[in-house]
Amino acid sequence: MKLFDKKNIDFGMILTQHGLSKTSFRKILIELFYTKKYSLSVDEIITNLSFPIDKVSVYRALNAFEKNGLIHKVPDMANLIRYALCQSECSFEKHLHNHAHLLCSNCNETYCINDFKIPVVNECKGFIIDNLKIILEGSCVDCQQSYK
């Protein structure tokens, strides 16, 4: 569970720091990412909002957030896209993701893991490697419970 005190976080400031304009929807969207523990799909975002929002606006906001280094994409089991908060200092210029992801093959929930030891590879068969995508598929704790 991600513990934080909303009073201590200025979501408008976070948007500004990432070069994003502060609209009421965007402030609520970034707050939603801080409130929810893990990744979100477009449909989950809409479900979690207390007001109607056009799906297109969600897509455009997510694309802007991603371009400016606030969130990053994670694929689910069906190769559909989910989004998760960037954990390190990402920005428009530098978008680094040196962490792996847990993906529950049952509920599609995604968990960013920072303490997974990522193998260091720079070269393989002449191929120059500049990014590793590591997805660990399995069962999340909740889904293990419900199988008992």
Partner DNA sequence: CAATAAACGCAAATCAATTGCATTTATTGA
Partner DNA sequence: TCAATAAATGCAATTGATTTGCGTTTATTG
Binding interface with DNA (CB under 7 A) = 20-26, 41-43, 53-57, 59-61, 63-64, 80-81
State the binding partner of 134 from a copy of itself, Zn ion, DNA, none, CB within 5 to 8 A by kind. a copy of itself
Query: Least CB distance from residue 54 to DNA, whole Å?
Result: 4
Contact 103, 136 (CB under 8 A): yes
Of residues 23 and 132, the one with the C-beta less far from Mn ion: 132
Tokens representing 76? 């689910």
- The three state secondary structure string of 26-81 is HHHHHHHHHHCCCCECHHHHHHHCCCCCCHHHHHHHHHHHHHCCCEEEEECCCCCE
State the binding partner of 111 from Mn ion, a copy of itself, DNA, none, CB within 5 to 8 A by kind. a copy of itself
State the binding partner of 61 from DNA, a copy of itself, Mn ion, none, CB within 5 to 8 A by kind. DNA
